[in-house]
């Protein structure tokens, strides 16, 4: 073989080898409270994202590129959250799914805006983020929607005097929810007669419940995460077996039922998903989730799955050179588990709600 022939053969082999090499993976970030007071939200969100990414990878990834998930913890702490955001940025992720709480969104958004890196939250709902031209996208509704509908539901049940326990560890959310709830509740003739702030680290919540019940309300509202809502419900049921209990969507994870047991039976909660959905699409998701994680999915898992599928769909369909922020606003609507998702130019969307009740150890639609 001549030298030229050998060179040609070598070049051909190199070309063939390059064509067979794996494409660069798509790196997707997840950021959430995997430890700390809202770890149940973070774990549920990460599980939903994992399920979506595994499904996409089994089908060939994004345009033939495998998807790698890089998960980082915020630990409900400002310094940890910012450091985790920097790590994901430095790892060249295309976007970050998360965070799961409004407090952490407030911490992370300045960094993401400066980096022009999309932050796609499954559960953040505080109304203060609505109508802002930033890099935060949300697949959830807002505290305005949640609070208003929860107030109407209380009024329909004949609750006119309400007392509320308020967890200050996610105050961005708690203050917003209570404000929106109060406007509608008072317009309808209701009155919030007592409020009791607390922190998850407080050793005892007996005084919180005592003070709320002392005001002789028609019902109690717990603006808190799942673990604290379960604690409050258990203490309440020791002192009053019959008073109606209302929880916010913040508590809408599997942990509420696992920790609350019989004490949360009959509790009502407005959720941005329908746990009684019998559609084939949701049933398939539910069964895959149970097989993968050994438990029923909650609202946070379902919304995180939606966030991941929206992101991956946009990445797969955007034309070359189109910024991801533009793809999310221009290529919708995207198909979620239970409804379509259409972002406006501010990254906001609308979502329907289901008034749920904890019955026989699961969230069910409240008739």
- Predicted local confidence at residue 367, as pLDDT: 65
Query: What is the radius of gyration, based on Cα positions, of the chain?
Result: 23
Least confident among 9-18, 56-65, 210-219, 279-288 = 9-18
Pair of tokens at residue 365: 């639609």
What is the C-alpha to C-alpha distance for residues 299 and 350, in angstroms, rounded to an integer?
A: 16
The maximal CA–CA distance of the chain, rounded, in angstroms, is 99
Dihedral sign for Cα 204, 206, 212, 218, please: positive
Residues 132 and 33 in one domain: yes
* 250 within 8 A of 303, measured Cβ to Cβ: no
Q: Identify the pLDDT of residue 65.
A: 97
The pTM (predicted TM-score) of the whole model is: 0.88
pLDDT in tens, 137-193: 999 999 998 999 999 999 999 999 999 999 999 999 999 999 999 999 999 999 999
* Res. 28: pLDDT tops 90: yes
Residue 10 has pLDDT above 90, yes or no: no
Residues 127 and 165 reside in one and the same domain? no
Going by C-alpha positions, the residue among 343, 342, 357 that lies closest to residue 266 is 357
CA dihedral for 156, 158, 162, 167, sign (positive or negative): negative
Cα(108)–Cα(105) distance, integer angstroms: 5
How would residue 17 be classed by pLDDT, with cut points 50, 70 and 90? very low
pLDDT value for 23: 85
Q: Which of 364, 337, 365, 333 is nearest to 349 (CA)?
A: 333
Tell me, yes or no, whether 126 and 240 share the same domain. no
Within a domain: residue 356? no
From CA 189, how far away is CA 171, in angstroms rounded? 26
Are residue 283 and residue 266 in the same domain, yes or no?
A: no
**Burial, 202: exposed, middle or buried (Cβ in 10 Å; 0-12, 13-18, 19+)?**
middle
pLDDT in tens, 327-342: 999 999 999 999 999 9
Banded pLDDT at 2 (limits 50, 70, 90) = low
Tokens 């609507």 correspond to 333
pLDDT > 90? residue 244: yes
Q: Is residue 194, in this structure, part of any structural domain at all?
A: yes
pLDDT band at 20 (very low <50, low <70, confident <90, very high): very low
Query: Which residues in 56-92 are b (16+ Cβ under 10 Å) and which e?
Result: bbeeebbeebbbbbbbbbbbbbeebbeebbeebbeee
Element (H, E) at 32: strand 26-32
User: How does pLDDT run across 127-141, given as a tens digit for each residue?
Assistant: 999 999 999 999 999
Tell me which residue of 222, 153, 224 sits closest to 190, measured CA to CA: 153
Domain at 98, CATH number: 3.40.50.2300
Give me the domain span that covers residue 262.
144-271
Tens digits of per-residue pLDDT, 105-121? Answer: 999 999 999 999 999 99
Residue 87 lies in a domain: yes
pLDDT range class, residue 275, cuts 50, 70, 90: confident
Arithmetic mean of pLDDT, 261-290:
93
Please indicate, yes or no, whether residues 200 and 346 belong to a single structural domain of this protein.
no
């Amino acid at each position: 073989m001549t030298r030229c022939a050998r060179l040609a053969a070598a070049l051909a082999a190199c070309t063939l080898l390059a064509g067979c090499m794996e494409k660069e993976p798509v790196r997707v970030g997840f950021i959430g409270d995997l430890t700390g007071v809202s770890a149940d939200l973070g774990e549920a969100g990460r599980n939903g994202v994992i399920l979506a990414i595994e499904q996409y990878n089994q089908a060939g990834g994004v345009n033939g590129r495998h998807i790698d998930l890089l998960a980082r913890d915020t630990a409900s702490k400002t310094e940890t959250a910012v450091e985790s955001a920097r790590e994901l940025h430095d790892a060249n992720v295309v976007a970050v799914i998360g965070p799961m709480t409004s407090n952490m969104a407030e911490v992370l958004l300045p960094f993401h805006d400066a980096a022009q890196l999309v932050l796609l939250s499954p559960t953040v709902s505080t109304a203060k983020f609505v109508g802002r031209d930033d890099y935060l996208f949300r697949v959830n509704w807002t505290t305005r929607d949640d609070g208003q509908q929860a107030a109407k539901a209380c009024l329909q049940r004949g609750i006119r005097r309400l007392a509320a326990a308020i967890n200050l560890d996610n105050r961005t959310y708690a203050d917003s929810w209570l404000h929106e709830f109060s406007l509608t509740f008072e317009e309808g003739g209701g009155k919030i007669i007592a409020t009791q702030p607390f922190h998850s680290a407080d050793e005892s919540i007996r005084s919180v419940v005592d003070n709320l019940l002392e005001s002789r309300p028609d019902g109690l509202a717990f603006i808190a995460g799942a673990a604290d809502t379960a604690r409050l419900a258990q203490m309440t049921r020791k002192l009053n077996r019959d008073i109606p209990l209302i929880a916010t969507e913040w508590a809408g994870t599997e942990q509420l039922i696992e920790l609350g047991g019989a004490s949360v039976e009959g509790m009502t909660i407005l959720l941005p998903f329908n746990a009684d959905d019998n559609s084939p699409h949701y049933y398939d998701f539910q069964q895959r989730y149970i097989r993968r994680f050994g438990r029923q999915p909650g609202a946070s898992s379902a919304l995180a799955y939606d966030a991941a599928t929206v992101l991956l769909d946009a990445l797969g369909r955007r034309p070359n050179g189109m910024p991801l922020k533009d793809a999310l606003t221009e290529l919708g609507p995207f198909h979620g588990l239970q409804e379509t998702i259409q972002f406006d130019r501010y990254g906001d969307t609308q979502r329907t709600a289901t008034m749920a009740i904890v019955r026989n150890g699961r969230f069910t639609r409240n008739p």
